[in-house]
Structure 1
Amino acid sequence: MHGSSALRKALIIIPALVVALVVAGLAVGVAVVRRPLPDHGGTQTVEALGAAVEIYRDERGVPQIYADTDEDLMRAQGYVHAQDRFFEMDYRRHVTAGRLSELVGENEAALNADLVVRTLGWRRVAEQEWELLSDEARSLYEAYAEGVNSYIGSREASELGLEYTVLGTTTELRPVEPWEPVDSLAWLKAMAWDLRGNYAAELGRASALRTLGEVGRAEELYPSYPYDEHAPILPEQENGQGDSSPVAGEPPDPAAAEEAEIVEALGGAPAADALAAAEAALSAVPTMMGEGEAVGSNSFVVAGEHTASGSPLLANDPHLALEAPGLWYQVGLHCTERTEDCTFDVAGFSFSGMPGIVIGHNDQLSWGFTNLGADVTDFALERTYDDGTYLRDGARVPLDIRQETIEVDGADPVSIQVRSTENGPIVSDVLPQTSVAASVPVPDGSPPAGFSSYSVSLQWTALTPGRTGEAVFALNRAENADDVATAAELFEAPSQNIVFATVDGDIGYQAPGRIPVRNSVPDSPVPSDGSWPRPGWDSSYDWQGWVPAEQMPARLNPAEGFIVAANQAVTPSGGRPFLTSDWNAGYRSQRIRELIEYDIEQGEEIDVDRANEIMLDNRSPFGPAIIPALVSVPVENGFVNEAVDLLRVWSAEGFPTHTSSAGAVYFNAVWTNLLELTFADDLPTGQSADGGARWLLVVERLLEDQQNPWWDDRTTVNVVEGRDEILRQALVTARQELTNTMGKDPASWEWGKLHQYAPTHPVLGGDTLPAPVQWMFNPTPVEVPGGTSVVNATSFSTSAVDELGRPDFTVTTGPSMRMVVDMADLDASTWVTSTGTSGHPGSTHYTDQIDAWATGETFPWPFSREAVEESAAVELTLEAGE
């Protein structure tokens, strides 16, 4: 289950009768619902300002801010964020500080989240990072906090968010705390956590090994990247800006580990149990941006030689968790005049709670992000002892131990002891019910056990303090490739692909991030490349530092005239530096490349509309990979063959996933059953095939081997199933399921009836709440095209089920926004978000972009002051205090 979904379901802490009464009161007392709504027009006084600020909002409530200094721009941004999104900001800072229990009260899921975040120490690291920032960066964060506090300082909680009124029925609402600059920095840890690379694959391999007993079978579930079929971001190896000399971060040799040695090192009961404890603990952290392999993004940039305007075009649509309100807040930050004191002229997508623009453009450069997917986390098995020591290179050394106290609204505080080793915090400690007993046997060849047991620590680049907090400002001011590289050196976590374009006609790619250099360990019992947990008692597995910024992959103006970065491998096989062995399989990126290449070959000039069409492409990669095998299976049942015929029609249509597609319905139902029939009997408890790109690659390769052991259902005694029998069962079961849910006539089935976008509130979501609360905070579901690994990546999990136990195709992650920037005419650019600008359910701007987002429409993105004023629906003047 998604971490955020688990939290939502557990946070239903308000008695149904009380909530029903409260909401019934709200229904007749519209004033209570509207009380938190801000005034976006007129004149307001903000004491912290140095001079007056003008704010123009368009008909969707998007603010464009004009000020005379950088500090006043940030104060005004903090002010409008607080106007529209303060509860979201407050929720985020409670999560990132491990203080969620203070906000929502006594609740197991909230407490578990606090336990893990306190163990990892997100807030502690953010406080250390504050000291590393430049004076200028600190002044901007302080100015932002002043703006937030100028708005919230004179208002009680019920005037800042309707959520406080509802939560107040069962918790004692504490006074709203002033916003601190470190609250903003801590949000960077949540970003880095959700975008952390191969964390799940590393635990998954180890977990699968214990059940399967063979390293080879476990590795079959994590196939290597198909370099021959899906081009990397940089199809030809080139380090930095063209330096092809040897670099740090050579790939460690995973082949050095023999299967038996891995089993010996990781297959014993204490190791496997400790890893399971770690996995359970870490899954307690609520998802803030998204998780799993469906979290990715599309981005591409096309040189002016191939565009209608003659200047570069840049497109980006980050695939993240879809909640209400949506993740992004659109805003423009403009200096009335560019001076030494005022340096910003930028617009785009921000995070409420953070100053600056995360993705967008200024007057010289546009940029987009996709998740790089580099491996920045490693798990270490630790030999710990009851006397507070652990084993390190043959000696017992003291654990680093600290106490943490978690305040719980309405209940007693909870105190925990956080233990850390040289490798990082011990995460398997966090959930006591999953702790490993000291008496569990250990595998042969392990260090002397004594009264010890295995624990699991986590080493993560984001736990090393850095200066990512400055990177956003550097990007906001960047004008060329050198500026982007400078900003990338600061952008340490999360590690992201950056594509960019300039008004001067350049297009480029830059990989930022703090990437560990892993050691090659001779005669290693386990791979040292980060794909498996490592023995923490042996320092030869330690990281050897970071890949130098100048050796990170980069490219400027490639000969082919475009760059696609959609979470695929960055460099060719064996490329340097070593980033990870667990890439997204690259189906989306290859499809985007094919569409752009086709337009270029046909002499079609790409414009803003065409760029949007590419992002909305809904051709499924699953169809051409799986359907030939499905339709070749004899099915002696006319009732089932009616549905199988849909697959043949769907194939002839080109495998579309539009909302009216009957073929998409049947195929996805078949795919869900195929995964269940093939893998459920073999996977360890708690693991399931979610149907993403990795599983498509796995099944593609299995289809070539009709008698592979994966096809056999181990639950059927004295029967050995082969490929065709499993495919047949999937076809039959899917037909039966859809008949029960959508009717007997397959031609009447429609993908959009099952595949819907249903954003939910992070605290007041969940289908167990009374209907009035759901209606108030959770927008009405809408039908959407697309699917998992489709370019229009409205992803779902094939392992999800609804309340009746049926497959649930509800969208969980997808394009959280879409933007296209035309460097020839910035006012011709377009954008849209998945919900709206406001976080207040009583505002029209809470949901006023949903329908456009769902149907693939976008809105004008004015940038010049003339265009901004022309599009303005309301104007607010913030006056400085006397």
Structure 2
Amino acid sequence: MPRSRALRVLIVVALVVVLALVALVAVAAAVVRRPLPDHAGSADLPGLTAEVSVLRDARGVPTIEAATAEDLFRAQGYVHAQDRFFEMDYRRHVTAGRLSELVGENEDALAADKVIRTFGWRDVAEQELGLIDESTRRYLQAYAEGVNAYLDSRSAEELAVEYTVLGLQVDVAHPEPWDAVDSLAWLKAMAWDLRANYDDELARGLTYTTVRDVARVDELFPRYPADEHLSIVAAEADGSDVASTGNAVLPADLERALADAQAALDAIPTLVGEGDGVGSNSWVVSGDLTASGAPILANDPHLAISAPGVFMQMGLRCADVGPQCPFDVAGFTFAGFPGVIIGHNADLAWGLTNMGADVTDFFLERVDDETGTYLYDGERKALDVRTEVIEVNGGDPVELEVRATDHGPLVSDVLDIASLAGSPTPTGGRGGRTEVALAWTALTPGRTADAVFRLNTAAGAADVAAAAAAFAVPAQNIVWASTDGHIGYQAPGLIPIRQRVTDGPVPSDGSWPRPGWDSRYDWQGFVTPQDLPAVQDPPEGYVVAANQAVAGSGPFLTNDWDYGYRSQRIRTLLDEAIEAGTPIDVELTNQMQLDTWSPFADELVPALLGAPVADEFTEEAVDLLRDWDGRQTADSSAAAYFAAVWSTLLELTFQDDLPESVWPNGGSRWLQVVVNLLGDPDNPWWDDRTTVNVVESRDELLSRALETARLELTVQLGKDVRDWEWGRLHTAAPQHAVLGGGGIPAPVRELVNPQPLAVPGGSSIVNATAWDAASGSFAVTAGPAMRMVVDLGDLDASTWVTVTGTSGHPGSVHYTDQFDAWAHGDTFPWPFTPDAVRDAAGRELTLRPAS
């Protein structure tokens, strides 16, 4: 063939390939863009009594204005479904234990379904529907009608691209109608992820099974440093049981039972966040100390980094605010639930942080499988047994036998894993085994839904207290400020009362797994709301609630607090501004939220610099710490090296002694542990048990950590320490819950997962971008899901940002249009008054009553 002809043939073939690729890309783009909703024009919404306006700003943030409260929430349901229905659908499948119906045969999905069916989240939500206020039921029903109106005229593929992708593997039916219980069940997921000391209680038990020394276990769970880190409420510390177990007498098969329980509970997907990094910052400052002369409130909840982020910004406004339609509120919403979770109205702003109260207990039960009974006060009681059927998309149904004691469902045998059997344990006359039941306040039907709407319309301390009285789970610190100049704090939550047992095998304060066979360890009811700590207009002129101890003179809440490094740093920054006579404004408050000073550096660097270094190669890295200002900025070489040293030190010191499931994650508890150990250079924890016939001391492990970290970062970041940067290691990578993980084709993952961004901060730092020191990675595991600052003197001067964006559609510009700003610490204006909202609006959708 002549060369010219051959060339023409190649060109034609190449052109055909290019055209095919272009066509494929065009088809893919069309599929991705197909579910994008109309944010302008008009649409019919059945059930409305009058037209509803939905104004959206440059970031797609909607403000809804309606004539009645029911119209308002009906429109909110429609708007949530527009932007985030797949997220809502995924959540309701999870909370009902029906994830396998959505994603098909998947081991992780089935494991989650088994555990959640065992808990019965949706069953509890169904009971709550009959307990809540009649007005709340109306709002939930109107919200559901709005969601369903959007679903009715669209196929699954028109609702979300996720259904198109899932449809390649399983049958995707049109989503079921939304109902009020779907919304209530979502509160159970939020409560589960924010359940406080569950991890510490389990970790104590598992640590004891390998260490077999109560005093050494206590060293890993030190007391809160109350003399150094002030509590939220300035009063005497709340009393508690004796921390040490004395001579613990625990079942021989404890390790297996607790390991099985942990495996089961870890199967529940993270919907909000979990682990040491989950917490929050909040503070409120009196107008006497601010530039505007009115209070300023700041809040940034630290939750899992997900795509889309858990919060969606929104404004909800009645056209004529009054008793019949009392809402004029803006803030952060959960898609799937009506109202605003955190935000402000025209009279009051509020923020939430995890209080950390102990609302879960593991009860060790002596179960006899042959008789279907468990031991209780020397007698045997029958287990409650029911059968659940889990439908699997494309597979056979799975039957699950759920068993429970009076303390709660048995969770140590949910997954049918090989280690289930357990070893025989004496049970007072019959053979049996130790199993684990979980008592949890969220399994008691409550009225948290009422609390949301009460906060949305609150105007002062009495209203906040009334909302808190209904706020059963999760137990959250509420900080608030009002436009008439008051600031305050209120503790809500359903808090168990535990009887003091002085001669039992373990403390009765809820810090250890409890003997279910001894009724003295049973819960004795719940604390009355009026007895929970509260404060208004404290003399120091501010309140800081950042997961530290609550204290006060109220009831015992827990001993397992965050150790207060963040809260104390915030107090320090406020005190410095006050002492300097600097009026606190929105800009300064935003800067405080971005503070990267590390308490780890302050506590540990002097000891590291005192350790012997054997070679110049390591000394080059150690020199970074000599000049370090202790700030973990993204461009800091010293911060990168310190983080590597810290994770290595924890590995060398503790991993040889502990089960893998409780290896140190590097959070505030572990900082306190190591700080305490530094004063005891020959403590047995410093000894590396893997080195035979050698007993290491503190300085030897510090030196080894410095040397090992230098070698590791040389491999990861290069030989020249000046090229190291914390942000090259520490990145935020939001991940899609269904399509973002392993096993998903790369093009799909790239579509749904935003590109990772370098971020400053770290664990127990005010800019709290946590990472897990036991994971082998420095990537962010939890961080500020949003940041907000509210100026009660000029609400339109307030600022906000979310971790990703308002939209849940990967094809939308609003899917990630706030992510870069969030990573770099920027925020956006937060218009609130009608004129400001109108001026900021770029699009308007009018929802009309359907004929």
Normalised-by-shorter TM-score class: over 0.9
1:392 CA displacement: 1.4
**1:762 aligned to which of 728, 737, 759:** 737
Paired position in structure 1 for 2:476 = 496
**Aligned counterparts of 1:838 and 1:145: Cα–Cα separation in 2:** 19
The two structures, once aligned, show a CA RMSD in angstroms of 1.5
**Aligned counterparts of 1:694 and 1:683: Cα–Cα separation in 2:** 16
**1:841 aligned to which of 800, 810, 823:** 810
Q: Confirm or deny: 8 A CA contact 1:252 1:519 kept in the other structure.
A: no
Aligned AA for 2:667?
A: G
Paired position in structure 2 for 1:856 = 825
How is 1:45-194 mapped onto 2 (pairs within 5 angstroms)? 45-194=44-193
Q: Does residue 293 of structure 1 match 2:293?
A: no
**1:729 aligned to which of 680, 704, 707:** 704
Q: Confirm or deny: 8 A CA contact 2:209 2:254 kept in the other structure.
A: no
Q: Confirm or deny: 8 A CA contact 1:658 1:786 kept in the other structure.
A: yes
**Aligned counterparts of 1:339 and 1:824: Cα–Cα separation in 2:** 22
Paired position in structure 2 for 1:201 = 200
**1:421 aligned to which of 391, 405, 423:** 405
1:593 CA displacement: 0.2
Q: Which segment drifts farther, 189-198 or 451-460? A: 451-460
How is 1:84-483 mapped onto 2 (pairs within 5 angstroms)? 84-237=83-236, 251-255=240-244, 257-259=245-247, 262=248, 264-266=249-251, 268=252, 270-385=253-368, 386-437=370-421, 440-442=423-425, 447-448=427-428, 450-483=430-463
Aligned AA for 2:719?
A: K
Paired position in structure 2 for 1:17 = none
**Aligned counterparts of 1:531 and 1:420: Cα–Cα separation in 2:** 22
1:711 CA displacement: 0.6
Paired position in structure 2 for 1:3 = none
How is 1:519-668 mapped onto 2 (pairs within 5 angstroms)? 519-571=499-551, 575-650=553-628, 654-668=629-643
**Aligned counterparts of 1:735 and 1:449: Cα–Cα separation in 2:** 59
**Aligned counterparts of 1:642 and 1:768: Cα–Cα separation in 2:** 42
Instruction: Give SS of 1:589's match.
Output: helix
Q: 1:26 to 1:422 in 2, by over 3 A?
A: farther
Q: Which segment drifts farther, 614-623 or 758-767? A: 758-767
Q: Which segment drifts farther, 709-718 or 392-401? A: 392-401
How big is each residue's C-alpha offset from its partner over 1:222-250, in whole Å with a ceiling of 9 and x where there is no partner?
11100011011112249xxxxxxxxxx96
1:265 CA displacement: 2.2
1:133 CA displacement: 1.1
Q: 1:851 to 1:368 in 2, by over 3 A?
A: same
Structure 2 unaligned spans of 5+: 1-19
**Aligned counterparts of 2:269 and 2:220: Cα–Cα separation in 1:** 26
**Aligned counterparts of 2:645 and 2:119: Cα–Cα separation in 1:** 41
Aligned AA for 2:580?
A: Q
Paired position in structure 2 for 1:783 = 758
How big is each residue's C-alpha offset from its partner over 1:386-424, in whole Å with a ceiling of 9 and x where there is no partner?
222111111111111111000000110000111111101
**Aligned counterparts of 2:310 and 2:246: Cα–Cα separation in 1:** 45
Aligned AA for 1:282?
A: L
Q: 1:22 to 1:708 in 2, by over 3 A?
A: farther
**Aligned counterparts of 2:686 and 2:22: Cα–Cα separation in 1:** 52
Q: Confirm or deny: 8 A CA contact 1:23 1:772 kept in the other structure.
A: no
Q: Which segment drifts farther, 271-280 or 498-507? A: 271-280
Q: 1:105 to 1:25 in 2, by over 3 A?
A: farther
Q: Which segment drifts farther, 426-435 or 70-79? A: 426-435
Q: Does residue 798 of structure 1 match 2:778?
A: no
Q: Confirm or deny: 8 A CA contact 1:564 1:592 kept in the other structure.
A: yes
Paired position in structure 2 for 1:16 = none
**1:819 aligned to which of 788, 795, 802:** 788
Instruction: Give SS of 1:715's match.
Output: coil
How big is each residue's C-alpha offset from its partner over 1:569-591, in whole Å with a ceiling of 9 and x where there is no partner?
0016xx53100010101000000
Aligned AA for 1:702?
A: L
Instruction: Give SS of 1:668's match.
Output: helix
Q: Does residue 707 of structure 1 match 2:707?
A: no
**Aligned counterparts of 1:130 and 1:82: Cα–Cα separation in 2:** 22
Q: Confirm or deny: 8 A CA contact 1:251 1:577 kept in the other structure.
A: no
Instruction: Give SS of 1:429's match.
Output: coil
Aligned length: 831
Q: Which segment drifts farther, 200-209 or 363-372? A: 200-209
Q: Confirm or deny: 8 A CA contact 1:379 1:456 kept in the other structure.
A: yes
**Aligned counterparts of 1:452 and 1:272: Cα–Cα separation in 2:** 15
1:24 CA displacement: 9.3
Structure 1 unaligned spans of 5+: 1-20, 239-248, 802-807
1:252 CA displacement: 3.4
Instruction: Give SS of 1:686's match.
Output: helix
Q: 1:436 to 1:52 in 2, by over 3 A?
A: same
**Aligned counterparts of 1:277 and 1:376: Cα–Cα separation in 2:** 21
**Aligned counterparts of 2:329 and 2:22: Cα–Cα separation in 1:** 41
Q: Confirm or deny: 8 A CA contact 1:661 1:750 kept in the other structure.
A: yes
Paired position in structure 2 for 1:242 = none
Aligned AA for 1:819?
A: M
Q: 1:570 to 1:22 in 2, by over 3 A?
A: farther
**Aligned counterparts of 1:29 and 1:227: Cα–Cα separation in 2:** 58
How big is each residue's C-alpha offset from its partner over 1:7-37, in whole Å with a ceiling of 9 and x where there is no partner?
xxxxxxxxxxxxxx99994554421110000
1:727 CA displacement: 0.7
**Aligned counterparts of 2:67 and 2:718: Cα–Cα separation in 1:** 63
Q: Confirm or deny: 8 A CA contact 1:591 1:791 kept in the other structure.
A: yes
The percent of aligned pairs where both chains have the same amino acid is 59
Aligned AA for 2:68?
A: T
Q: Confirm or deny: 8 A CA contact 1:22 1:166 kept in the other structure.
A: no
Q: 1:26 to 1:721 in 2, by over 3 A?
A: same
Aligned AA for 1:525?
A: P
Paired position in structure 2 for 1:516 = 496
Aligned AA for 2:404?
A: S
| TM-score normalised by structure 1 residue count | 0.93
1:767 CA displacement: 4.8
1:688 CA displacement: 1.1
Q: Confirm or deny: 8 A CA contact 1:26 1:33 kept in the other structure.
A: no
Q: Confirm or deny: 8 A CA contact 2:356 2:475 kept in the other structure.
A: yes
1:154 CA displacement: 1.2
**Aligned counterparts of 2:492 and 2:287: Cα–Cα separation in 1:** 25
Instruction: Give SS of 2:72's match.
Output: helix
| TM-score normalised by structure 2 residue count | 0.96
Q: Does residue 828 of structure 1 match 2:797?
A: yes
How big is each residue's C-alpha offset from its partner over 1:633-652, in whole Å with a ceiling of 9 and x where there is no partner?
121201110000001111xx
Q: 1:554 to 1:26 in 2, by over 3 A?
A: farther
Q: Which segment drifts farther, 595-604 or 519-528? A: 519-528
**Aligned counterparts of 1:757 and 1:521: Cα–Cα separation in 2:** 46
**Aligned counterparts of 1:841 and 1:190: Cα–Cα separation in 2:** 24
Q: Which segment drifts farther, 679-688 or 556-565? A: 679-688
1:436 CA displacement: 4.0
Q: Confirm or deny: 8 A CA contact 2:276 2:665 kept in the other structure.
A: no
Aligned AA for 1:392?
A: Y
**Aligned counterparts of 1:588 and 1:430: Cα–Cα separation in 2:** 37
